[in-house]
Structure 1
Amino acid sequence: MSNRGAFVPSDYGSFRFVGIEVDEASGAIDFSYELAGADAATLPFAERIMLALPDDGRNAEWTAARDILPLLGAVLGLSYYKAAAPPRYEIAVDGLTDAGAIFLREALRHGLAEFAYRAGLPALLETEVVVTGARGEARASADLPVERLHRPLAPVGGGKDSVVTVESLRLAGLDVTQFSVKPNAIMRRVAEAAELPFIAADRRIDPALLELNGRGALNGHVPVTAMNSLIAVAQARLLSLGPVVMSNENSAAEPTMVWNGEPVNHQWSKSLDAELLLAAAIEAQTGERGGYFSLLRPFTELKIAGKFAATDRYDHAIVSCNRAFRLSGAEPGWCGECAKCQFVFLVLSPFMSRERLVGIIGTDMFETPALVDGFASLLGIDAHKPFECVGEEAESTVAMSLAARSAEWGQSAVVRAMVERAPELLDGDPALEASLFSDREAPTIPAIYSSARNVLGARS
């Protein structure tokens, strides 16, 4: 910890996004921010994004990329804003459209709701967003050019969902480029398994923020998916690629809990509401329709699990364990204990043999009695579901019911314990099961992508 004095968040009354600097030769974009207070020294922050430049002799399309930078910088600023969570967030740079400002307000209110809940800061949800820079004019919209439409950029995160997206796009005959922000060993391993082009951007958070955290700054969950989405849009536009095709599922819309009448959703920036707001903001900033959407939006996690089971080329590569992503090492794997590991094991169990699933995860989680309470929380038994990227309680309930009624898993220790707590699991619920394997509401997307949604296997 620093020897400097304690940081007092209440000393700061405003946060400002004050600058964007681009180095076209290196691909570096620097965003500048500051915390200000009446009786406290102004604290500056600087974040750098490094985009990948063309490696085939083509010119980088910086004019196209610059369109999205005011919105990208505003959303990245939430990482620094939260250090003090002051009542005012000011956009002092030029070029943010009204739709961009609306997205920022919603990202602050809903994307930081979990942070506000954990920090006990209900007033944060009413933070004033003020645009003092010159407003950007919303562009007249046009569809993506055909030559770019067939060249999607698909962010990969190392887990089953982005695998389903990449494989679906491949099978549909599209020219897929995979993408990650600051990729770790897991992401690179999954990208290599796909045997498709892969590019990466770098994100360098100001070390001053980390130092401030050690002195008492507020800290917690931010809408990382929204941040990475906008970095991907900037990257796609720089390289003249097509739409950014995400892997956010319908289940992400379910709140983790309700706090003072306010829904708190750990996955808000993966939700349908966030997708619609962000797509509208991107269209206003760039003048292009269809530049951002999720291929998996109509699907529940349960249906996506069935699609993943239809391909085995990634079994050795994927890891959907958040603990693994926080650890260093060349070959990080599943911890086999956390809520994310439990959910993935559970949701894949209806579609895989014990041998295959244990081979992927590395342990038989259904034979670990210490995990019974964790599995129960996924079903909403005696607790709300965890603050993790896990599916709906209904999905977990159906997956456990399918396991309980199967010869493969029915006699496992955890499954038997769950049946003791909820005997109705043995009865099943055909109507609920049918609804979870049916497509749900999703925005209209280009026809070729709509077709791509259904080329990879679903429920067996």
Structure 2
Amino acid sequence: MSTAGPFDPSAYGAFRFDSFSVDESASAVDFTFTLVPREGADASPSSFTERIGFSAPADGVTPDWAAARDILPLLGAVLGLSYYKAAAPPVYEVAVDGLAAEGAAFLEQALRHGLAEFAYRAGLPALLETAVTVTGVPAAPRASVDLKGERLARPLAPVGGGKDSVVTVESLRLAGLDVTQFSVNPNAIMRRVAEAAGLPFVTATRTLDPALFELNTAGALNGHVPVTAMNSLIALAQARLLGLGPVVMSNENSAAEPTLVWDGEPVNHQWSKSLEAEQLLAGAIEAQTGERGAYFSLLRPFTELRIAGKFARTERYDDAIVSCNRAFRLSGAEPGWCGECAKCQFVFLALSPFMSRDRLVGIIGTDMFAKPELADGFASLLGLDAHKPFECVGEEAESTVAMSLAARSPEWWDSAVVKALVERAPELLDGDPAMERSLFADRAATPVPSIYAEARDLLDSGVPL
């Protein structure tokens, strides 16, 4: 599709998920969508096709497309958010068959809360109040059974190149589980981390329709979408295609904290990583597949700060991980840290209580506490003078405790940034024992099968990773 002139989002009254088709020979699925003009509007329908390519089983094993198909109606509905947001019309129609009521309910929440940052930053008047209409034949209700047997011990663990998925993979390994690593559109960083683990690694590809980029250039609305939910469902389809067990995520409890509150409504950059989203998505997956326990986050009871302490127990990945958002771009990634962005700042801050200066600087490539020009950025992580940034960073309380620990540590207290933050908030020198204890205590989490509960326990057992 090519655009002949400016794109007017207000000319569109509905978005439709039209169909999906499986290309078994290519191990791929095509999803089609349409933006539908309002009646009487001077606009043409805008159509899109997105392709998801999956890894086929090795050694001539037949892929289980029947199992994978169960998740495709929900996967397509959530992938459609990338195209829906071009106009954000008041109606989202699901015209495909097979979407369970719980899947439609998850889509409603993804439109409202998964696109909350998009609505806020695009200057829309409020969170989206989109009507979800299912015109296809809904999935028939089915009885659920617990995921068990050989598949239960064969988790698929998505890896993103940072510390969190490293802790998950190593904990699953310690629990004696047969781990397969997974990434969507893996870049050099993800591949390097997967190689450092030395465990099997499978991948999927997501190819957005170029027509979307043309619309963005012509004036379409654009912004943040719940990518974690999309990648989670791609992982689910991949796991079922290969006959693997649960998709085990690395989303931590801290992801539930909103970035800000807008007219009384939470706006959370990490909504699709939150406990609320996990529970809704797990329920939708259970309704689609009839399997209970097929999707959960191993790290859900833990804060980012607690996970940082666990990561510090292994040095295997020091030369591999990167949690820099400037390095992770849609077009690819360079294999290093920028040492300036908010994500780099948070990771440096979170790891600082658990590592020597030499080791941490060796990982990041620069001493970020030695750069006074970064003081304002660190201050925003603590919630001083500004809300925390729209990034995947921890709670303001976590950052406050980490900075307080740094301010009381001979390793860091003479650093320019630490001294600047203490000047702004002298109470950092006193610390807050109650807050510190709360950040290292278990928090609410989705129930998991017992063998995965044991893996969670290893995170606190003192066993070195």
TM over 0.5: yes
> Retained in 2: the 8 A contact 1:303–1:437?
yes
Tell me whether 156-165 or 134-143 shows the greater mean CA deviation: 134-143
- Whole-angstrom CA distance in 2 between matches of 1:327 and 1:400: 32
- Whole-angstrom CA distance in 1 between matches of 2:331 and 2:99: 37
Counterpart residue identity of residue 67, structure 2: A
Matched, 1:42 2:45: yes
Compute the displacement of 1:432 (Å): 0.4
**Cα distance, 1:23–1:329 mapped onto 2, change above 3 Å:** closer
Compute the displacement of 1:353 (Å): 0.2
Q: 1:405 aligns with which of 399, 403, 408?
A: 408
Counterpart residue identity of residue 253, structure 1: A
Matched, 1:182 2:185: yes
Q: Which residue of 1 aligns with 2:456?
A: 453
Q: How does 1:57-456 map to 2 (within 5 A)?
A: 57-122=60-125, 125-326=128-329, 331-456=334-459
- Whole-angstrom CA distance in 2 between matches of 1:123 and 1:348: 37
Gaps of 5+ in 2: none
SS at match of 2:442: coil
- Whole-angstrom CA distance in 1 between matches of 2:27 and 2:58: 12
SS at match of 1:25: helix
> Retained in 2: the 8 A contact 1:139–1:283?
no
SS at match of 2:99: coil
Compute the displacement of 1:456 (Å): 3.8
Instruction: Give the number of aligned pairs.
Output: 459
Matched, 1:30 2:30: yes
**Cα distance, 1:3–1:94 mapped onto 2, change above 3 Å:** closer
Q: Which residue of 2 aligns with 1:15?
A: 15
- Whole-angstrom CA distance in 1 between matches of 2:316 and 2:247: 23
- Whole-angstrom CA distance in 2 between matches of 1:112 and 1:330: 25
Compute the displacement of 1:122 (Å): 3.4
> Retained in 2: the 8 A contact 1:310–1:458?
no
> Retained in 1: the 8 A contact 2:371–2:416?
yes
Compute the displacement of 1:138 (Å): 2.7
> Retained in 2: the 8 A contact 1:306–1:458?
no
Counterpart residue identity of residue 55, structure 1: A
Compute the displacement of 1:145 (Å): 2.7
| TM-score, length of structure 2 as denominator length | 0.97
Percent identity between the two aligned chains: 77
Compute the displacement of 1:201 (Å): 0.2
Compute the displacement of 1:56 (Å): 2.0
SS at match of 1:32: strand
Compute the displacement of 1:274 (Å): 0.1
* 1:114-158 CA distance string (max 9 Å, x none): 000011223552111111110112321001131000000000000
* 1:381-414 CA distance string (max 9 Å, x none): 0000000000000000000000000010011110
* 1:7-34 CA distance string (max 9 Å, x none): 0000100000000100112111000000
> Retained in 2: the 8 A contact 1:109–1:125?
yes
Q: 2:57 aligns with which of 51, 54, 58?
A: 54
- Whole-angstrom CA distance in 2 between matches of 1:355 and 1:439: 31
- Whole-angstrom CA distance in 1 between matches of 2:290 and 2:36: 34
**Cα distance, 1:79–1:330 mapped onto 2, change above 3 Å:** closer
Compute the displacement of 1:328 (Å): 6.6
* 1:318-367 CA distance string (max 9 Å, x none): 00000011287785200000000000000000000000000000000000
SS at match of 2:328: helix
- Whole-angstrom CA distance in 1 between matches of 2:291 and 2:170: 26
Aligned Cα root-mean-square deviation (Å): 1.4
- Whole-angstrom CA distance in 2 between matches of 1:281 and 1:328: 31
Counterpart residue identity of residue 390, structure 1: V
SS at match of 1:394: helix
